[in-house]
Amino acid sequence: MPAIDSARRIVAGMNAVRTAERTLLIGDLDSRTRSNQLARLRDNWAEIDKAIEQYGALQHSSEEAVCGRSSPLCSASGRPSTSAPPPVWLPATSRRRGRSPS
């Protein structure tokens, strides 16, 4: 099923993005490792964008089409929007400071 395959590729890509981002947070990375992780980020985002395009080309129900277009959390590319509100599950103090709960 093409929709499930696209969703699987999006989730796998997001997991790879998260791994590369966490690796980049390591303070004593050498330049080669940092360059490799940045290349992985670019490649993974390209794969995610491709999977989103393929998913968008599929036939959708009218409800699904409306939800996809009106989501305030995503930009046109499907990537999280930088102007999106913080997740509602974060406490108000964390949302103001941009931190996740401890």
User: Which residues neighbour 93 within 8 Å (Cβ) at sequence distance 6 or greater?
Assistant: none
Domain ranges, ordered by start, for the chain? 2-59
Measured CA to CA in angstroms, residue 46 lies from 37, 62, 97 at distances of 14, 28, 31
List the pLDDT tens digit at each of the 102 positions of the chain. 888 899 999 999 999 999 999 999 999 999 999 999 999 999 999 999 999 888 888 887 777 666 655 554 455 555 555 555 544 444 444 444 444 444
Determine if the pTM surpasses 0.75.
Answer: no
